[in-house]
Amino acid sequence: MSHTTDRHSSEGRHVPPAPSAAPYTANPAAAGTGAAGVEQTLKRETHSSRATASIIAAVLVIALCLYALLETAVRAVGQPPWLVDPQTAAEKVVALPSGVPPLLLGVVGAVLVMAGLYFFLNAVLPGHRARHVLLDRRAAVVVDDEVIASALARRARLAANVSQEQVIVTVSRQQIEVNVRPTSGVPLSRGAVLAAVQDELREMGLSPAPEVRINVASAGVVGA
């Protein structure tokens, strides 16, 4: 199952300097010419590849065809089947579920359903990576959601006047969720946190622009 993976970050979490965590700057000349080249580069950087699923499907189909060819050739020369005779296998499939233990039939059916669901979802889902595009007139910049979450958590912490551990930010393609645990006895303005996070997002210029949700915990944290 393909899916779009959310990234969680708090302002205190150290983001490792991995290549994917650093902003990616695309050179339009390297990918193509003009806007078309930039668009292709951005799509490649923000969408997961389906090469793995395609290779698995191709290997399975090729293996099945080779096995069928082998059994057919063995039957044509009058030799005993290598594993199972194709005609016998076809008769057993037609006669299902008779002659097969229910537990084995259920396990095989579950495996086939999961395999089919895996290939189906890989085919129909967009396969977005946990990345966003930063709008820039001079270059195409792609940044990991974890980096964005760290920057937003820092901005929210300053607006809420809380410690690092009291802010957790979750970034997805369509939504940014900021969870804040206030300090007991210290008033916290939800509107101020929301305005600070939205201001940071405007400066980033994310595309697509996600919706911001601020959650303030009902139970506060005892201050030091």
pLDDT digit string, tens, across residues 203-215: 887 777 788 999 9
Q: Are residues 173 and 145 in the same domain?
A: yes
Q: Give the percent of the chain with pLDDT over 70.
A: 70
Whether 32 is covered by a domain: the verdict is no
207 and 140, same structural domain? yes
**Domain presence at residue 143:** yes
Provide the token pair at 44. Answer: 């490649």
What is the tens place of the pLDDT at every residue in 95-153?
777 777 888 888 988 999 999 888 888 777 766 666 666 666 666 677 777 888 888 99
Instruction: Compute the distance between CA of residue 120 and CA of residue 125 in angstroms, rounded to an integer.
Output: 8
What's the token pair of residue 110? 């579950």
C-alpha 202/C-alpha 155 separation (Å) is 13
Could you tell me the two tokens for 82?
């290598």
Q: Bridge-partner residues for 24, per DSSP?
A: 142
Q: Is residue 150 domain-shared with residue 99, that is, in the same domain?
A: no
Instruction: Categorize the per-residue pLDDT at 74 as very low, low, confident or very high, splitting at 50, 70 and 90.
Output: confident
pLDDT attached to residue 197:
92
Strand partners, 180: 167, 216
* pLDDT over 50 (residue 167): yes
What mean pLDDT value characterizes the chain? 75
Query: Averaged over 75-84, what is the pLDDT?
Result: 82
Give the end of a domain, one of 97, 124, 151.
124
Return the higher-pLDDT residue of 15 and 134: 134
Mean pLDDT over 66-84 rounds to 84
**Higher pLDDT pick, 33 / 39:** 39
Cβ contacts of 120 within 8 Å, gap of 6 or more: none
The pairs formed by 109-112 with CB atoms below 8 angstroms and a separation of 24 or more are none
Return the SS3 of 142: strand
Residue 15: the pLDDT is 40
Is 175 strand, coil or helix?
A: strand
What percent of the chain clears pLDDT 90, i.e. is strictly above it? 15
Contacts of 113 (CB under 8 A, 6+ apart): none
Q: How many domains does the chain have?
A: 2
Please determine, for residue 56, whether its predicted confidence score (pLDDT) is greater than 70.
Answer: yes
What is the pLDDT averaged over residues 9-15? 41
What residues make up the domain containing 100?
51-124
**115 and 65 assigned to the same domain:** yes
For the record, the structure tokens of 35 come out as: 């806007």
Residue 27 has pLDDT above 50, yes or no: no
207: amino acid identity, one letter: S
- Domain membership flag for residue 162: yes
When pLDDT is averaged across residues 42-55 and rounded to a whole number, the result is 68
